[in-house]
A and B are shown apart, each in its own frame.
Chain A
């Protein structure tokens, strides 16, 4: 893929990450930043994947679990690579880490049922926006953003129930 300096999206990303992360210095932070930037660029340029009509719910859940596991293990792997080889390794079988479908569906329902203002804050945070940026976009105070986030997390914690104790 070639970079075109006229690409305004890349320019915006560079400015955004430069301002947001100029305090970073270690090489791993730089690698993470580079990776995150490309992921964002890729995400922003792709149209949402179409959901094949009639795809069974079970397949959708399996697909989502696959993506989720990839993401989670990827983060752990990346973090472990910062240590010397052999110092850190997954001590449990990844196959044992597959979540119960009921828990996933309960959490999905809770996310869908979140009041729209709380869900928006969570989605913006998950997209990488900071509290101050969200407050500015939504024309509310940072305190309000924080309150919405905590309310949303409290609702999800209720679904997790015993799992989170």
Chain B
């Protein structure tokens, strides 16, 4: 699949992305009761790099869930 990579004006590594992505990962996993801290929320509103990762995680989970259903149905 050769889709063009999406680029952004503010997609470069920003200070503070690492801890934000760590929280995003925990939030995605259902930890933190799906709540992000105020600082992380503020960061996400202005950082499409971190938003892209979060969206990628959610999309991947949906696809994996479909894969799981397909393989269960195939059994």
Residues of A within 8 A of B (CB): 48, 51, 57-58, 60-61, 64-65, 67-69, 71-72, 75-76, 79-80, 88-93, 95-101, 103-108, 110-112, 122-129, 149, 152-153, 156-157, 160, 163-165
Return B12 CB to nearest CB of chain A, in Å.
11
Please state if B55 and A127 are interface contacts (CB–CB under 8 Å): no
CA distance A106 to B4 in the complex (A): 16
Could you name 26 residue pairs across A and B whose Cβ atoms are closer than 8 Å?
A64-B58, A64-B63, A68-B55, A68-B57, A76-B44, A88-B41, A88-B45, A89-B45, A91-B10, A92-B8, A93-B8, A95-B6, A96-B48, A99-B6, A99-B55, A100-B56, A103-B52, A104-B60, A105-B1, A111-B61, A125-B29, A153-B29, A156-B25, A160-B25, A160-B53, A164-B18
- Among the interface residues B28, B30, B44, which one has the most CB atoms of the partner chain A within 10 A? B30
CB within 8 Å: A-B pair count: 153
Please state if A126 and B22 are interface contacts (CB–CB under 8 Å): no
Count, chain B residues at interface, CB 8 A = 50
Q: Which residues of B contact A80 (CB under 8 A)?
A: 41, 45
